Copies of this chain bind each other. A is one copy, B any other.
Amino acid sequence: MSGLTYVAVDWGTSSFRLWLMNANGEVLGERRSDQGMTVAAGTGFASVLQSHLDALGVAADLPVVICGMAGARQGWVETGYVDAPARLSDILTGAVAVRGSARDIRILPGIAQRDAAAPDVMRGEETQLLGALGLDAAIDADVCLPGTHSKWVRVRSGTVERFATFMTGELFGAIARDTILSHAVAGAEDAIDRDAFCSAVAAVFAAPALSANLLFRVRSRQLLFGGSAQSARETISGTLIGAELAAGLAEREAGAPVTLIASGRLRQLYQTALERLSIPFNVIDAEEAVRRGLGHAAASIWRN
């Protein structure tokens, strides 16, 4: 393998994804597991990484670039934060080397918004932004990155000016697991109930304060009118996503398209919600974005 080949890792709270990449941005090999920060903090980050490198037969001198929670205080090596407003290129210069490793391993920093009135942090999404928007110093975008902790980011002239995190995904999980609505959603399948989802999106978008009432109606509707677990789940999902969109879209330039960076089911749900609200948007696959972002980092660190 040549010096142009490298390993890219997206190390989240609950997931680990690794790609063996060549200089053309092509994926030569791939590994996925649930050994996120939470698991790896117990078993050891170095050994988790090495086991996946071994599985792909990666040479000992191949460098590794990592983004995400591996750089958190509870992670492998704390990489701190670049402060917003932050140029996307700033995260490249903030990479921290893992000491005591024979292999060259770098972990990227997050971005912090040190505003006492609206404090916020991201770790991993900055790399998706870099991959999606590139290093174009003139780029403007209003970006939505759905997830456990969804981010809405205002980028102006290649700079992350402001961002806000919404606990949307985590609230969905807690509500579906740990409230009276757990009975309502039991047995729901993976398919999307578009009508229930869109109704909830529209209702909460029109009156975001009603969120906690719209959620309880899921229970009342089942008691008084029946109703499937599927529609219950989609109503909860639509209520939480619709409220997030009401806040996120309020910050956007009027009429400007939203840049949606998402994959899989979340991508489907957010696309459906944006279509329902007649909001223009363009989509970039989140996995593609993080790989491209890690590629920019690798190029900046090892080829300059």
By a beta-carbon cutoff of 8 Å, the part of chain A in contact with chain B is 73, 112-114, 116, 118-121, 149-150, 164-168, 170-171, 173-175, 177-181, 207-213, 215-217, 219-221, 223-225, 240, 243-244, 246-247, 250
Q: How far is the CA of A209 from the CA of B121 in the complex (A)?
A: 20
Q: How far is the CA of A168 from the CA of B215 in the complex (A)?
A: 10
4 A-B pairs besides A119-B221, A121-B223, A171-B215 with CB distance below 8 A are A164-B210, A209-B243, A209-B244, A212-B243
Contact A213 B165 (CB under 8 A): yes
Q: Please, which residues of chain B bring their CB within 8 A of the CB of A217?
A: 118-120, 165
Contact A216 B179 (CB under 8 A): no
Indicate how many identical chains form the complex.
2
Q: With A114-B224, A119-B221, A250-B209 known to touch, is A216 a contact of B174 (CB < 8 Å)? A: no
Chain A contact surface mostly? helix
Beta-carbon nearest neighbor of A247 in chain B: B209
Q: Which of B113, B171, B225 contacts A212 (CB 8 A)?
A: B171
Q: Please, which residues of chain B bring their CB within 8 A of the CB of A171?
A: 175, 179, 212, 215
Q: Which of B120, B225, B246, B250 contacts A116 (CB 8 A)?
A: B225
Beta-carbon nearest neighbor of A246 in chain B: B209
**12 A-B interface contacts by CB (under 8 A):** A116-B225, A165-B216, A166-B212, A166-B213, A166-B216, A167-B179, A167-B181, A170-B179, A171-B179, A173-B178, A178-B178, A207-B247
Q: How far is the CA of A207 from the CA of B246 in the complex (A)?
A: 10
Contact A216 B149 (CB under 8 A): yes
Q: How far is the CA of A274 from the CA of B168 in the complex (A)?
A: 27
Q: How far is the CA of A210 from the CA of B207 in the complex (A)?
A: 12
Q: Please, which residues of chain B bring their CB within 8 A of the CB of A215?
A: 167, 171
Beta-carbon nearest neighbor of A175 in chain B: B174
Q: Which of B120, B174, B219 contacts A179 (CB 8 A)?
A: B174
A215 CB, min distance to chain B CBs, angstroms: 5
Q: How far is the CA of A179 from the CA of B179 in the complex (A)?
A: 13
Q: Please, which residues of chain B bring their CB within 8 A of the CB of A112?
A: 224
